[in-house]
Amino acid sequence: MAQVRTQAPAGRYGRSADERADRKLKIVGSVLGAAAVIGLGYYGFHTIADQSVSGQVVSYEQVTPSEVHIHLEVNKGKSTTGSCTVRALDTDHNEVGRKTVRYDQPKTQIDQIITLRTTARSTAAELVGCSDG
């Protein structure tokens, strides 16, 4: 007579090694995923929050062939000091003038008309960037 081998009922002797390994992998994956989300959130917040001086060109006006008025609006923290750089471009997008303006006033919003001397007639003016410090 042939012997018939029977398996024990499922769950009778505890979990198998594969089930334990799967559970550990799920826990480790969840912890690493949560850490990645927290890390990305922290990085994103500090990237945005650290921009304590920002600005935008509201308008510009060609006054003479060698002079431009740029209306710049700057936002910053009340106690923050910083600077913004603007430039003028000609029709070929070559830089024909550049100026950096420092902001030390204890204000959060500053509107200023900047007079920029140019080496040739300009057709555009743009904000290069702002920085604190």
pLDDT at 58: 94
Task: Please give the C-alpha separations between residue 126 and each of 36, 53, 132, in angstroms, as whole numbers.
Answer: 37, 16, 19
Tell me the pLDDT of the chain (133 aa) as tens digits: 567 666 666 666 666 667 777 888 888 889 888 888 998 888 777 666 555 888 999 999 999 999 999 999 999 888 888 899 999 999 999 999 999 999 988 888 999 999 999 999 999 999 999 988 7
Whole-model pTM above 0.75? no
Q: What is the pLDDT of residue 14?
A: 61
pLDDT for position 20 = 77
CA distance 90 to 120: 7
Q: Per CATH, which fold does 53-132 belong to?
A: Immunoglobulin-like (2.60.40)
According to the model, what pLDDT value does residue 124 have? 93
Extended strands (E) in 1-133? 53-64, 67-76, 82-89, 95-103, 109-117, 124-132
**What is the rounded distance in angstroms from the CA atom of residue 42 to the CA atom of residue 52?**
17
Model pLDDT, residue 16: 66
Say what the pLDDT of residue 98 is. Answer: 96
